[in-house]
Amino acid sequence: MTSQNIAPQQQTCAPRPTARTSRRWAWGLAGVATLTILLGVVAMQMVPASAASTRPAPAEQTPSNAACFACHATPGMQTTLASGEGLYLTVDPQVYNDSVHGKMGYACVQCHTDITGYPHPALTAPTHRDLTLELYRSCQACHPTMFQEVLDSVHQKALAAGNTDAAVCTDCHGAHDVQPPDEPRSRIPKTCQKCHSQIYDQYKDSVHGAALIGDGNPDVPSCIDCHEVHSVQGPSNSPFRLFSPDICAKCHADSTLMAKYGISTDVFRTYVADFHGTTVTLFQAVTPGQEPNTPVCIDCHGVHDIQNVNNPDSPVIKHNLLATCEKCHPDATTNFPASWLSHYRPTPQHAALVYYVNLFYKSLIPTLIGGMGLFVVLDGFRRIRRHRRGQNDE
């Protein structure tokens, strides 16, 4: 308190650094330093706002982790659940101590809240999965915000609908071996792979996936950049598809990012200007709950298997384009794909006919309407003049 009170004084005295004022300076600096440290401490307390704020410090927990590990470090320790499924009871202390929670010194019983000593309450969950579905709720105590987001996710909706395969916290993050989920970033798709292996197989060979998994490219999207993390939405039961062009535009309309790879940022603008994109834009603005009847980016470029447009396997490379058009236009013939300008702005070199039609009207409209306007304005002035003169004559 004292040092904080002194701190403002040093400002008034600052212009004349005498011996006394320099002592005040020292006090002031000390005050500022104290204040900074205090603020820092407060800030550090606030940073993990969702974590650890609602739980007592690890040291107060009983039984201690040492007590738990006294038994549960024993290799091969297992029990049998009511369904006959085996369940390992062993936790490798080294694995736990290396986990994010272990490093912070959190206690086993902060998650295993039903354990207060020995003997333990009987395991009532008949299967391994049932036990997971009981235990993952512990995450909520320290991570309420994320837990709340998860409640809106497609996984929780599936779970609520009775699909017990739907992922819960520990399915993605692990239980005793929780590690930072994005270190390295390529860990993210590998986490999703556990349940979505077919999608992973497509993603890993895509232009985005190969760059992330192979080269550790920090710019390409992982799963969660498109699907969100805890509030992950299903592409089939939400306006996900309708608004998906905006997801692509997050990167593909970013000129700084695209310049790095020599990719045009016109793609979004030219899409919106075209029939398909115009339609989608109006669906977004007017009827966001309805499924648009025109394609979004992924319908032509592919979803998880999206390729570089110059890749011979790309669905939008010239020799594959007709087949791609035929998905929705089954009667399309050879000339039809050229009716789509491939995200190019019309120029004399590319889509010359469109370019010259535009040029024609861009010249004609101002000339014609300007001429009409001039004629009309002159006529109007003359009439007004004549009208006034007529009045004067009377």
Partner 1 sequence: MMSEPRYLRFPLAYRIEHWVLTLSFTTLAITGLVQKYPLNSVSQSIVGVLGGIVNTRTVHHVAAIVLMLEVVYHIGVVGYRVFVLRVRPTMVPSLGDVRAAWGTLLFNLGFTRDHPAQGRYGFEEKAEYWAVVWGIAVMAITGFLMWNPIASAKFLPGEFIPAAKSAHGYEALLAVLAIIVWHIYHVHLRNFNKSMFTGYLTEEEMLDEHGLELADLQAGRVDAPLDAPVRRSRMRVFVPVYSIVAVALIIGIYLFATFEQTAITTIPPAEDVVIYAPLTATPFPTALPTQTPSSEKPTTWDDGIGLIFQSGCIACHGSASSMGGLSLGSYAGAMRGGSSGPVIVPNQPDNSELIRLQAAGGHPGQLSGDELQYIREWIDNGAPEK
Query: Which 50-109 positions form the footprint of partner 1 (CB under 8 A)?
Result: 66-67, 69-71, 73-78, 85-88
Q: Which stretch binds partner 1 (CB under 8 A): 4-12, 176-184, 253-261, 297-305?
A: 297-305
Using CB atoms within 10 A of its CB, is residue 292 exposed (0-12), middle (13-18) or buried (19+)? buried
Phi, psi (rounded to 5 degrees) for 316: -110, 5
Phi, psi (rounded to 5 degrees) for 390: -60, -40
Number of residues that bind partner 1 (CB under 8 A): 87
Min dist CB 153 to partner 1, Å, is: 14
* Contact call for residues 230 and 146 (beta carbons, < 8 A): yes
- 30 vs 67, beta carbon nearer partner 1: 67
- 137 vs 362, beta carbon nearer partner 1: 362
* 34, 97, 193, 217: residue in contact with partner 1 (rule CB under 8 A): 193
**What is the chain's alpha carbon radius of gyration, rounded to the nearest angstrom?**
33
Q: Which stretch binds partner 1 (CB under 8 A): 3-11, 13-21, 29-37, 381-389?
A: 381-389
* 302, 314, 316, 324: residue in contact with partner 1 (rule CB under 8 A): 302
- 144 vs 235, beta carbon nearer partner 1: 235
Q: Which stretch binds partner 1 (CB under 8 A): 16-24, 109-117, 139-147, 330-338?
A: 330-338
Cα 95 to Cα 102: distance, rounded to the nearest angstrom: 8
- 13 vs 322, beta carbon nearer partner 1: 322
Would residue 122 be called left, alpha or beta, if left means φ above 0 and alpha means ψ between -120 and 50 degrees?
A: beta
Cα 113 to Cα 84: distance, rounded to the nearest angstrom: 25
Cα 260 to Cα 132: distance, rounded to the nearest angstrom: 45
Cα 235 to Cα 228: distance, rounded to the nearest angstrom: 11
* 183, 331, 393, 394: residue in contact with partner 1 (rule CB under 8 A): 331
* 194, 250, 387, 388: residue in contact with partner 1 (rule CB under 8 A): 194
Site for partner 1 in 127-186 (CB under 8 A): 165
Binding pattern to partner 1, positions 274-293, x when CB under 8 A? xx--xx-xxx-xxx--xxxx
Cα 352 to Cα 269: distance, rounded to the nearest angstrom: 19
Site for partner 1 in 332-351 (CB under 8 A): 332-333, 335-341, 346, 351
Dihedral Cα 376, 382, 385, 390, nearest 10 deg: -120
* Contact call for residues 149 and 70 (beta carbons, < 8 A): no
Min dist CB 198 to partner 1, Å, is: 4
253 touches partner 1 (CB under 8 A)? no
- 44 vs 353, beta carbon nearer partner 1: 353
Min dist CB 2 to partner 1, Å, is: 49
* Contact call for residues 73 and 61 (beta carbons, < 8 A): no
- Angle formed by the axes of helices 266-273 and 275-286, to 10°? 80
Site for partner 1 in 13-42 (CB under 8 A): none
Site for partner 1 in 352-371 (CB under 8 A): 352-354, 357-358, 361-362, 364-365, 368-369
Which residues are registered as beta bridge partners of 88?
A: 78
Site for partner 1 in 202-221 (CB under 8 A): 202
